[in-house]
Amino acid sequence: MSKTILSGVKPTGKPHLGNYFGAMRQFMELQNENEKGTNYFFIADYHALNFVQNVSEMRKLSLDVVIDFLTIGLDPKKSVIFKQSDVQEHTELAWIFDTITTVPYLKRAHAYKDAVTKGGEEDVSAGTFTYPMLMAADILLYDTDLVPVGQDQKQHIEFTRDTAEKFNRIFGETFKLPDAYILKDVEVVPGSDGRKMSKSYNNTISLFASDEEIEKAVWSIVTDSEGEVPKNVFAIHKLIKPEGELEKIYDENKGKYKILKEILIDDLKNFIRPMRERREGIAKDLDFVNKVLEEGKQKAQAVARAKMSDVKRAIGVS
């Protein structure tokens, strides 16, 4: 494959199974398939600034994402791993997009609507409101073909395409239109209550959970049933066990929720333990982690600078 692949993760806390199966696992798979192309995976720290406004927390959480990336198998020899704030062209281009975008258009964004529902419009930061334009800049700066994400980001990729088209219409052909890469089976990974797994719903299972945390999370799964199958338990189990094997287990244990949860606990422990141990090893070598970021910064900056000079020429400020 010879594509440009790009995606980002906000440093807002520990990744959960929704992040992993919905997006991060695909980062690693695409990276390995895309031998002739370029892969960019970045730490979306300026996006996270809407939520994380504490110096030590921001520093720690940003490094954590790099460690998470390396743990799940991103390879700095195959992928450019960098921090959004290290490449100033992201915010510079976002401003240009702000000027060709209207307020009613941005008001249609799900993330904005959710923030209004949660806290009322008065509490929504301007950064949250214009967030889709920063995301458009993140993607379009690198002539991206494919953006692996979960379903919740689909609309933002559509906004990105619209923005590229609008810019191209006004200023001439400059940006490539990217496609979202969303796997149907895992487009919305459910949490312990059956809703989308999300930190804001408090229904997550961490990708690096301890054995105790796994037990606690599984016992808290809400057991609504469908024909004696606890559907929330099954939905999480399906992520880590082949469907054939799983059906046999659920057939043999119809209505036995306690046993089914115990099996899920064991399977999750076996799945998570090696990841957790690998992460602990990588986290000890912070020099390496910082070196990965430094190299990624150099590579991303070079590409973003070249693109920005095309953009500046196109709009007449160069």
Binder to ligand AMP among 25, 83, 196, 261 (CB under 6 A)? 196
Q: Which of 67, 93, 149, 229 binds ligand AMP (CB under 6 A)?
A: 149
| Choices 18-26, 86-94, 113-121, 124-132; region in contact with ligand AMP by CB under 6 A | 18-26
Q: Does 178 bind ligand AMP (CB under 6 A)?
A: no
| Contact call for residues 62 and 10 (beta carbons, < 8 A) | no
**Tokens for 307?**
């693109």
- The 31-60 site mask, x for binding ligand AMP (CB under 6 A), equals -------------x----------------
Q: Which is nearer to ligand AMP, 49 or 100 (CB)?
A: 49
Compute the half-sphere exposure of residue 186: CA atoms within 13 Å on the CB side of its CA: 21
Checking phi first, is residue 55 left (phi over 0); if not, alpha (psi -120 to 50) or beta?
Answer: alpha
* 157 makes contact with ligand AMP (CB under 6 A): no
Specify burial of residue 35 (Cβ count, 10 A radius: 0-12, 13-18, 19+): exposed
**23, 61, 115, 308: residue in contact with ligand AMP (rule CB under 6 A):** 23
Name 67's Cβ contacts closer than 8 Å, sequence gap at least 6. Answer: 279, 282, 283, 289
Query: Within its chain, how far is the Cα of 149 from the centroid?
Result: 6
How many residues of this chain interact with ligand AMP, rule: CB under 6 A?
Answer: 16
| Smallest separation (angstroms) from ligand AMP to the CB of 284 | 24
CA 221, distance to chain mean position in Å, is 24
135 binds ligand AMP (CB under 6 A): no
Which range binds ligand AMP by CB under 6 A, 159-167, 190-198, 228-236, 288-296?
Answer: 190-198
The first and second tokens of residue 289, run together, are: 């982690």
- For binding to ligand AMP (CB under 6 A), which residues are involved? 9-10, 18-19, 22-23, 44, 149-150, 152-153, 188-189, 196-198
